[in-house]
Chain A
Amino acid sequence: MAVAVHSDEELGQRLHERLVAGDPTAQARVAEEILPGILETFGRYRIARRSDEQLVTDAVVDAFVDYVERPAAFDPAKLNLPAFLRLAAHRNLLNLREKHATQRKYEKAVELAHADRNDIWEEELIERDERDTLLARIPGDTLAEKVASILPELTDQNLCMLMLEGERETSVFAELLGLSGAPEDVRREVKRHKDRIAKVLGRYRKNLHHGDAGK
């Protein structure tokens, strides 16, 4: 039955209700009518712009498949479906990139083992070792898990991940935070949230140096 809808958010809500009610075609409609818009919006994120196009598409498709197989993981009271899928795609892309980065790191290590050493490389290695040692002390296997161990709120985790990626678009943060209104107010509010996260991270890092992180 055709249903008149006004936005992707509304359409997502209706399709989710149909999917949960057992309509076997609802998920196909999510793929046809919601996914292209998600890819378009997500494609504007800094992390997506800096990633391989196939990897970005895979991250969106993974988010869709995970949702279809576990629709209960989506809570409409917290987020709308497109936003939920975008966040999931964002996490997936981070994980996919991390996998690739680990592979590259290994390849680089092999290269280094065969290369002539010089002072600059040694300095870089020492710096990287220090950073890795610090990072290794934060609980969690992936960067996303480590962030989750510091920030209990899902929105804060996603905010933090965007900051770590170097995202600069205020609109991306505003969307995540569900902010709307005068641009100046939105900008101020986004900055307040980013400062708050930076403060928590700074405090955690300081505690980590003193060996009492998480206390």
Chain B
Amino acid sequence: MATPESNVTERAAQRAKGHPSFVGYALSLYQQSRGQSEAELAGWLGCPIDTMSRLSLCRRPVGTDAAFRFDVEAIARFAGIDAERLVQVLRTAEGIEAFRSVPAAGDADSRPLRFAARQAGKAGSDEVAGGGKGEGS
């Protein structure tokens, strides 16, 4: 039975969805964009649904340098998920954020944005290629 003490971690994970510095925020954006349930997302990431809280509560890695890869692999190990898929989630979330931060379509040329989003997705896949998945599992 869930006690108030056990609920506090779950509540913190729920709160993380509203704070951009948490992985939970990126997961939430990704989930919305794909129209997935939390269970579907957990399945795709390769972890039980219970693990989503601990994953959500991690600090969200940003950037493109070696530290990003190091952080992604640390989180993937910690939560027991697929590192490449985590990168995909993080890059998609960045793309969505970038999209939301620019003026509405018609106000500005959106082609560079779409290009940037595609590049971000591609970069995400490249970053963990050659070892990320294996180390992160």
Contact = CB atoms under 8 A, between A and B. Distances in A.
Interface stretch (B8-16, B33-41, B95-103, B104-112): B8-16
Among B9, B21, B61, residue most surrounded by chain A Cβ atoms (within 10 Å):
B9
A28 B57 contact: yes
Interface string A35-55: 111111001000000000100
Contacts of A40: 5
B59 A31 contact: no
A37 B13 CA distance: 17
Interface in B38-90: 54-55, 57-61, 67, 71, 74-75, 78
Contact of B19 (A24, A56, A69): A69
A24 B61 contact: yes
The range of chain A's interface size is 20 to 34
A61 interface: yes
* Residue of A24, A37, A56, A60 with highest tally of chain B CB at under 10 A: A24
Contacts of B22: 68
Interface in A8-32: 22-28, 31-32
Given A22-B67, A23-B74, A28 B58 contact: yes
B114 to A, nearest CB: 29
Contacts, number: 69
Contacts of A43: 4
A166 B20 CA distance: 38
A89 to B, nearest CB: 10
A146 to B, nearest CB: 28
A43 to B, nearest CB: 7
Nearest to B71: A24
Contacts of B75: 24-25
A58 B75 CA distance: 26
A108 to B, nearest CB: 30
A158 interface: no
B11 A25 contact: no
28 contacts: A22-B67, A22-B71, A23-B74, A24-B23, A24-B58, A24-B60, A24-B61, A24-B74, A25-B58, A26-B59, A27-B59, A28-B54, A28-B57, A31-B12, A32-B9, A32-B57, A35-B9, A35-B12, A37-B5, A38-B8, A39-B5, A40-B5, A53-B4, A57-B8, A58-B11, A61-B15, A65-B19, A68-B59
Interface of B: 4-9, 11-13, 15-16, 19, 21-23, 54-55, 57-61, 67, 71, 74-75, 78
Given A27-B57, A31-B12, 9 more contacts: A24-B23, A24-B74, A28-B55, A28-B58, A31-B57, A32-B54, A35-B12, A53-B4, A61-B8
Interface of A: 22-28, 31-32, 35-40, 43, 53, 56-58, 60-61, 64-65, 68-69
